[in-house]
Amino acid sequence: MTIYKGKAHNMGKLAIFLSRLNSEKQSHIGYCGTNSDEIQQTLREDFLEENDELSFMIAFNEKNEIIAAIGLDVDDDIAEVWGPFQISDEVKGNILWEELLKEYPQIHTFHFFINEVNSRQLAFAESIGAGYTGKHSILEITTDSVTPLSHEHSTPYSEESFEAFQKLHHETFPGTYYDAGTIVERLKRGHTLKLLKAGDHHL
């Protein structure tokens, strides 16, 4: 078994590994999706560093197959933890975690989003002293269940709308994980924010 930091050329293999494990509730991490193409795109946008390294520690067996991985979606000194993902107890999550901490000593706060039936990683989080902060739901909607708007049209976000968007977000979703400023900052990564305005001045 070998452990090293992921490289750009590992993205495809890593995306498939994460997709397979995250499709199972017992190994599911809320931050990560289940579609390998979408995961690979996220790895490219949020985990690929300037030196073509990924902010992931990956364990390989003697056949060069991925058997465990853990990654960080870093934002200054805060990070969302993807994993640990592992297919057996051959690799302990703590080993990958310790290697990751060596690579990112500047990170002071780590957020986990572990499925309630993912007992292996819940035990891992407890073993490193992570504190329980609440239970969260993942909401999903499909285009088949959406009724199109016939008279209202959304517009792309612009900077002059920030104050109104911030006020709406704070009043509607107080205490949520991402505040208005974080959402707007993440638009630089290629995400989209649409606004529906009443008249010319208000959201």
Q: What is the mean pLDDT of residues 65-76?
A: 94
Q: Cα Rg for the chain, rounded, in angstroms?
A: 19
Say how far apart CA 45 and CA 2 lie, in whole Å. 26
32: exposed, middle or buried (Cβ count in 10 Å: 0-12, 13-18, 19+):
buried
DSSP characters over 74-103:
EETTEEEEEEEEESSTTS-HHHHHHHHHHH
Say how far apart CA 151 and CA 130 lie, in whole Å. 48
What is the reported pTM? 0.71
Pairing between strand 2-7 and 78-86? unpaired
- Per-residue pLDDT, 151: 61
- CATH 3.40.630.30 positions along the chain are 2-127
Q: What is the mean pLDDT of residues 2-6?
A: 91
Which residues, other chains included, contact 201 with Cβ-Cβ below 8 Å and sequence gap of 6+?
Answer: 164
Residue 194 carries which side chain, given as an amino acid letter?
K
* pLDDT, tens digit, 9 for 90 and up, residues 144-185: 777 766 666 778 888 888 888 988 888 888 777 678 888 888
Top CATH class, 2-127 = alpha beta
